[in-house]
Amino acid sequence: MEIEAETRKWGNSLGITIPKKVIDAEHLQPDQKVIIDIRRKVSLQRLKGILTTKKTAQQIKEEMRSGWE
Strands (E) in 1-69, as ranges, are 7-10, 13-16
| Average pLDDT score over residue span 15-43 | 90
* Residue 2 resides in a domain: no
* Residue 13 resides in a domain: yes
Asked if the model's pLDDT at residue 48 lies above 70, the reply is: no
Task: Report the run of H or E that residue 24 belongs to, with start and end.
Answer: helix 20-26
Full domain range(s) for residue 33: 7-66
* Residue 1 resides in a domain: no
d(CA 56, CA 62): 10
* Residue 46 resides in a domain: yes
Structural domains in the chain (count): 1
* Residue 58 resides in a domain: yes
| Average pLDDT score over residue span 6-17 | 93
Over the chain, what is the mean pLDDT? 85
Q: What is the pLDDT of residue 27?
A: 96
* Residue 16 resides in a domain: yes
* Residue 14 resides in a domain: yes
pLDDT tens for 37-47 read 888 777 767 66
Task: Describe the chain by its helix, strand, coil percentages, rounded to 5.
Answer: 30, 10, 60
